[in-house]
Structure 1
Amino acid sequence: MSIDYTDGRESEAHLLEIIKAQSDLRSSTAIAVEQYDRWHVHYHLSPERGNLVRHLSFSGLHVLELGAGMGAVSRYLAEHAETLTVVEGTRERFDCLSQRLRDLDNWSGHVANIEDAQLDRKFDVICVIGVLEYAQMYMRPEADFDGDAFDWMLHCAARHLEPDGVFLIAIENALGIKYWAGAPEDHTWRMFDSVAGYDTAPGPKTFSRGALRARLQRAGLAHCREYYPFPDYKLPNCVVTPKMIEHDPRLAAELATGRSYEHHEIPTPRYYPPSLAMFQVADAGLLAEFANSFLFAAARSGRAGALERLCRREEQGEVAWYYNLLRTPETRTRTVFQRTGDGPNDLRIRKYGADEEAFGEREPVPCDGFTVRWRPLPDQPLLSGPKILHTLMRTAYYEKWDRFLEELHDFIGWSLDHWSTDGGALDGLAFDANVLNASIEPDGYGLFDLEWQLAPSMPRSWFIFRNVMSLCDRFDEELLIDNPRFHCPRDLYDTTCRHFESPPDLQADLRRECTFQNLVAPGHRERTPEDLARVMDKRFGERSYPDDPRMIRARQRQIDEMRVIWYATPVRIARRFTEWLDRSPRLTKACRMVLRPFRGRGGKP
């Protein structure tokens, strides 16, 4: 029996056509990247979906995926597991999934609700990714079952598990730090909904870390390995382990906030800067409690054979993984943080290709009168000093602008001296030497992730421009603070150029940077110098952290109005009508089928 769930029939048909026309279906491929400004395309077709499980070892394992959707994670599972069996609740989504896996022969599938799935074997791994939260809407516990719909779903899923198998579950954290900062709840679109405990009416619900572990324990899955995907499990660019948090909580917080969370369908307010807050949470030992999402690998026994095989990389000392896949294929990377001992400095960084292939230096390519070359980095020890970006953000948050400029200019001045050449320009290795890749060390500054090299040399103004752009991207995402010293990135660029007596060359720098970005990371459309100019001229906003509760309520009313327009009104009308249909048995089956698409809850945010 299928379920009434949809992301929108038009959206699902659109995705099916894209997948049918796609030749390269690998899980590391950014399918239809030019359409990633449309959320349903980005969510279902981005290679970032597979980042959730790339650190796990499925080789030789028989995997069952329940609620497989359109196959974004299924594709990675089928590529690496011995066999994959999928159960999806709707025919339309299953058709997309089938096309996604059409060139693989180690999978089979069923269209059914989880509690109705008839399977002829048990599995080493069962994946339930973004599914448990909907249990109240689609599951009805048997009368003699001791538990609610969420417990019933776990019970129905776990009965297909081998005795030494692993139950792999991903779900949002009801107490995720993004929600405390004001982000609307992912499913209900209400601010602070999960933090306040949700309405008692049936609907999607998520859980805190402790509540989720308690439910798994009631299902007989008491032994659990925990992973924390960031910004959340839907489109993660990194995954962090408890061992990483224990070894270096501040580095874990830095990885966790490398990319800000955005609700992809409605504006995302922030009542404090989550990056700064995450460092305080990490220092307090609470990062796991406030992670935005969880990925738990649970088993009946702590020595379950499948659990040890699945988590093999963690057993080998790997404690965190960072992915950069929205680049050209030859420069997509997987960065591994690996412990080599028990000492405080025994953490090393290693880079691999996205598909685990070996890769070497690339040939230089033209870039607006220069050449640029990507080069893989050797294994390197971790720099232990505080990151300059965090220091600058904290200084700016407290509006200490003289100190802010002093800190920024100290780093840029050190870099100009360090990389200076006889002709006044900079060595091409300085191309990636910016505030995102620098730390404060006892003997000066440390640099990491210097992947790109420019030739023959780098103009000083472009170096300053890249630092300003990198910094202001984070300002715009989190701080939104105006100040009397500079009102927009262009002001900061001009101020810094004048400070170092380097003539600004903004038009040339805009053109150069635009050419480089289009070369390396083609997005949903080609960037133009005018696009970057608008960013440089965008005024830093006033602080967006209200101290009046009425402002929060006003913001919630705005979100509710958007939700009514986009979603709630037509769905509410359709549901009331279908409830009336349920009380009218004489109406034709055809009429019911016409209205069936409106009975689902709607797509995942």
Structure 2
Amino acid sequence: MKTALSSQYQYNAETNTWARPGQSASFGYSDGDQTENHIFRVIRGAKDKSVTSGELQDAIRDWATLYHLSSERANVLRPIADRLEGPILEIGSGCGAISRFLGEQGFDVVAVEGSPRRAAIGAARCQDLPNVNFVADPFQNFDIGQKFKTITLIGVLEYARMFYDRSSIEDPIDMMLKKVTSLLEPDGVLVIAIENQIGLKYFAGFPEDHIGQPMAGIESRYTATSAVTFGKKELGERMANVGLDKHEWWYPFPDYKLPVSVLSDEALKDEVPADFTSMISGACATDKQAPRLPYFSMDFAWKAIVRNNLVDELANSFVLMASAKDIAKPTAIGFHYGGPRDPAFKKTVEFGKEESGYYVERRKTYPDAVAKSSEARHFKLALGREPLYAGLTWREELRYIMMKDGWTADETGVWVKVWWDAFKKQVSNGDASARIEHRTLVSGVHLDASPRNLLVAADGSTNFIDQEWCREGEVEAGYILFRSLYDAILGVSSCGNPAADTPREVGALLLSMARYLGLSMNEDDVMRYFAEEYRFQSAVHGKQISGNLAVLGKKLPPRITPVSMMMQLERALKTRDEELKQIAEATDQMRTKVSEFNRSLEAKLGEAHRQLREKDEQIATLLGQRSGAA
């Protein structure tokens, strides 16, 4: 690879990058000098520059550092990494997050980045990977006389109109794709990650990622020189127009930037027994770019979207594999990676189909990683494969109960009893009527038997799934109840107005549910369990995590959206208008009464004046008579 690069570029040992001789032109895309220089210092100063580097994770302080340093970035390619082939051309490699992942997978990578500084940052990130080479050159100028088996455009295609040659009337998007195709082997694969112009989050008021304004993409407010995104149909057509008409679609959630879950078209078929609504909505809840007040609750909207088979059209982002040849079909149909943890406890959940049916498999993402915390020795991940079951995730049902106005403590009690009976059945060899108190000791293998992991089928049957955590020895049943309900209640981001005397505080609601089950758990127990839970969280995250007890007294916020606020404002305006109308009517009535009073008063005054005139005339007559007599 270095021989091919040297035909057009010179190697700069100081920056570990390749560039054209005498090239000094700047590139217009940047996160800002201060931000990029900070990222450069962090990477150069880190001893561990790997995808799992704790040093880099600890340096995350804002959106830019999160995007460039987070290990979650690699999740966009993990689902398809085993089917990629090298050499790989990465176009628009930025600060090297994806380059690092591909390099660690053993691929020969040529990473092309238009910004010399960003290319140098990426090269520093991959300085211990001789199979990764960074080229500081705009892509439209790149050509080393070699074709590639895989080319990636991760968050890049949308910028073509901003940076590509505008001397032609041809759309720079198509020009870029034609250039990409010219560098692709006949059986090669182009991998594109891009936002969906009509993704659900953008209907919900999330700012368009490049213009920064809500509804800008939905309303197609793009220009001939701005970034631009596409819906599924249009993106697929553009690929076909350049000869890449064989497609495999994946849908990352919350989007391609920091994916938590990734599903394929195969996962969305009706024949698949699982309902992925909970996984999708849970992943979307982690979106770091969410507005303070979305226009509506995406959590609940996804349910209808899944039910109506519209996920592929309304997913927030796409990952598209496009080729001129058929693409080998994988057995996997989806993946879930979860959030940040100690690498030793990071897991990959794979959903797939084999001859015996659909399955779910849990495995370590980093099998060789060693836990950082000494407390971690008490816990282990339960790995392996099991059938993929159908059913409603019971944790989500609580959210549907509490979203309605007028929800009651009894309703939440009925909800918790379904889970508690399933839990008792599991820990008591099938006896759902077994008496278990909160201080009853149960095996630590049941640590994760929570509503989050309980599926309830249409016939009422229950199955616990994805019980990933085991704790050595025994634990109090009350602790499992606490962590289960604490997780479920905090999963209710907002709620409807409850019935009178129904607690809305986290701790009070939790104890209300415990009392419904007939347990004598009190506030002291809750405090003990709270401390125990955060010891567990610290162990699995590899760093101290201190829970704030104040959260137990926190009231769940009322459900508020701009739409509900507008409706509330309209109701207030209507009330005001009615009050003004009443005031106007009262004013008119008062004005009428005043007018009547004035007319009556004028009449009386007129009569009084008439009578006075008559008296004056009578007096004058009398005086005249008296004067004549004299």
TM bucket by the smaller chain? 0.7 to 0.9
Give 2:446's aligned amino acid: A
- 1:323 offset after TM fit, Å? 1.4
What is the CA deviation profile of residues 159-193 of structure 1, one whole-angstrom value per residue up to 9, with x for unaligned ones? Answer: 21112211111000011111122222222222222
Alpha carbons 1:465, 1:509 under 8 Å: kept: yes
Label 1:65 to 1:487 Cα distance change in 2 as closer, same or farther (>3 A). same
SS at match of 1:432: coil
Give 1:434's aligned amino acid: S
- 1:528 offset after TM fit, Å? 1.8
1:540 corresponds, among 556, 571, 575, to: 556
Give the equivalent residue in structure 2 for 1:253.
277
- 1:324 offset after TM fit, Å? 3.6
Give 2:341's aligned amino acid: R
- 1:23 offset after TM fit, Å? 2.5
Give the equivalent residue in structure 1 for 2:398.
392
Label 1:91 to 1:553 Cα distance change in 2 as closer, same or farther (>3 A). farther
- 1:509 offset after TM fit, Å? 1.7
Label 1:232 to 1:513 Cα distance change in 2 as closer, same or farther (>3 A). same
Give 1:415's aligned amino acid: F
Alpha carbons 2:199, 2:316 under 8 Å: kept: yes
Matched, 1:519 2:539: yes
- 1:364 offset after TM fit, Å? 11
Give the equivalent residue in structure 1 for 2:622.
none
- How many angstroms apart in 2 are the aligned matches of 1:60 and 1:487? 54
Give the equivalent residue in structure 2 for 1:216.
239
- How many angstroms apart in 1 are the aligned matches of 2:207 and 2:101? 30
- 1:114 offset after TM fit, Å? 1.6
Larger relative contact order (CA 8 Å, sep ≥ 6): 1
Give 1:392's aligned amino acid: L
Give 1:206's aligned amino acid: T
SS at match of 1:544: coil
- Mean CA deviation greater in 17-26 or 219-228: 17-26
Give 1:184's aligned amino acid: P
- How many angstroms apart in 2 are the aligned matches of 1:447 and 1:388? 10
Give the equivalent residue in structure 2 for 1:575.
none
Give the equivalent residue in structure 2 for 1:408.
416
- How many angstroms apart in 2 are the aligned matches of 1:167 and 1:325? 28
Alpha carbons 2:361, 2:384 under 8 Å: kept: yes
SS at match of 1:85: strand
Matched, 1:172 2:192: no
User: Structure 1 segments of 4 or more deviating over 4 A?
Assistant: 362-367, 420-423, 548-554
Matched, 1:104 2:104: no
- 1:464 offset after TM fit, Å? 2.4
Give the equivalent residue in structure 2 for 1:488.
505
Instruction: State how 1:205-604 maps to structure 2 within 5 Å.
Output: 205-246=228-269, 247-248=271-272, 251-261=275-285, 264=288, 267-302=291-326, 307-308=327-328, 314-315=329-330, 317-324=331-338, 326-341=340-355, 346-355=357-366, 357=367, 366=375, 372-399=378-405, 400-401=407-408, 402-416=410-424, 418-419=426-427, 424-441=440-457, 442=459, 444-476=461-493, 479-484=494-499, 485-499=502-516, 500-504=518-522, 505-522=525-542, 526-529=544-547, 531=548, 533-547=549-563
- 1:359 offset after TM fit, Å? 9.5
Give 1:5's aligned amino acid: Y
2:221 corresponds, among 168, 180, 198, to: 198
SS at match of 2:111: strand
- 1:339 offset after TM fit, Å? 0.5
- Mean CA deviation greater in 56-65 or 246-255: 246-255
- Mean CA deviation greater in 187-196 or 127-136: 187-196
Label 1:149 to 1:550 Cα distance change in 2 as closer, same or farther (>3 A). farther
- Mean CA deviation greater in 265-274 or 487-496: 265-274
Q: What is the number of equivalent residue pairs in this alignment?
A: 528
Alpha carbons 2:189, 2:321 under 8 Å: kept: yes
Label 1:322 to 1:430 Cα distance change in 2 as closer, same or farther (>3 A). same
- How many angstroms apart in 2 are the aligned matches of 1:542 and 1:209? 36
Alpha carbons 2:252, 2:263 under 8 Å: kept: yes
Give 2:337's aligned amino acid: Y
- Mean CA deviation greater in 106-115 or 424-433: 424-433
Matched, 1:13 2:37: yes
SS at match of 2:400: helix
Label 1:359 to 1:107 Cα distance change in 2 as closer, same or farther (>3 A). closer
What is the CA deviation profile of residues 122-178 of structure 1, one whole-angstrom value per residue up to 9, with x for unaligned ones? Answer: 1111100101111221112443x5x31222222222221112211111000011111
Alpha carbons 1:31, 1:45 under 8 Å: kept: no
SS at match of 1:175: coil
What is the CA deviation profile of residues 62-85 of structure 1, one whole-angstrom value per residue up to 9, with x for unaligned ones? Answer: 100000001111111122254111
CA RMSD in angstroms comes to 2.9
- How many angstroms apart in 1 are the aligned matches of 2:564 and 2:78? 44
SS at match of 1:13: helix
SS at match of 2:215: coil
What is the CA deviation profile of residues 421-446 of structure 1, one whole-angstrom value per residue up to 9, with x for unaligned ones? Answer: 79723332221111111111457421
1:48 corresponds, among 48, 62, 72, to: 72
Label 1:432 to 1:151 Cα distance change in 2 as closer, same or farther (>3 A). same
What is the CA deviation profile of residues 356-388 of structure 1, one whole-angstrom value per residue up to 9, with x for unaligned ones? Answer: x4899x999648xxx732133221111212211
Instruction: Pick the structure with greater CA Rg.
Output: 2
Give 2:249's aligned amino acid: E
1:94 corresponds, among 116, 119, 137, to: 119
Matched, 1:159 2:182: yes
Alpha carbons 1:365, 1:373 under 8 Å: kept: no
What is the CA deviation profile of residues 550-574 of structure 1, one whole-angstrom value per residue up to 9, with x for unaligned ones? Answer: 58999xxxxxxxxxxxxxxxxxxxx
Label 1:199 to 1:376 Cα distance change in 2 as closer, same or farther (>3 A). same
- 1:279 offset after TM fit, Å? 2.1
Q: TM-score, normalised by structure 1?
A: 0.81
Give the equivalent residue in structure 2 for 1:26.
50
- How many angstroms apart in 2 are the aligned matches of 1:551 and 1:206? 32
Alpha carbons 1:426, 1:458 under 8 Å: kept: yes
- 1:256 offset after TM fit, Å? 2.1
Label 1:264 to 1:91 Cα distance change in 2 as closer, same or farther (>3 A). same
Label 1:172 to 1:106 Cα distance change in 2 as closer, same or farther (>3 A). same
Give the equivalent residue in structure 2 for 1:4.
28
What is the CA deviation profile of residues 471-490 of structure 1, one whole-angstrom value per residue up to 9, with x for unaligned ones? Answer: 123212xx344424121211
What is the CA deviation profile of residues 297-355 of structure 1, one whole-angstrom value per residue up to 9, with x for unaligned ones? Answer: 111233xxxx43xxxxx43x1111111462222221111112013x7xx1111122214
Give the equivalent residue in structure 1 for 2:588.
none
- How many angstroms apart in 1 are the aligned matches of 2:85 and 2:210? 36
Give the equivalent residue in structure 1 for 2:585.
none
Label 1:77 to 1:455 Cα distance change in 2 as closer, same or farther (>3 A). closer
Alpha carbons 1:335, 1:351 under 8 Å: kept: yes
- How many angstroms apart in 2 are the aligned matches of 1:229 and 1:489? 32
- How many angstroms apart in 2 are the aligned matches of 1:24 and 1:168? 28
Label 1:491 to 1:83 Cα distance change in 2 as closer, same or farther (>3 A). same
Label 1:349 to 1:475 Cα distance change in 2 as closer, same or farther (>3 A). same
Give 1:83's aligned amino acid: D
- How many angstroms apart in 1 are the aligned matches of 2:228 and 2:569? 22
- 1:229 offset after TM fit, Å? 0.9
Alpha carbons 1:30, 1:47 under 8 Å: kept: no
- How many angstroms apart in 2 are the aligned matches of 1:548 and 1:487? 20
Give the equivalent residue in structure 1 for 2:95.
70
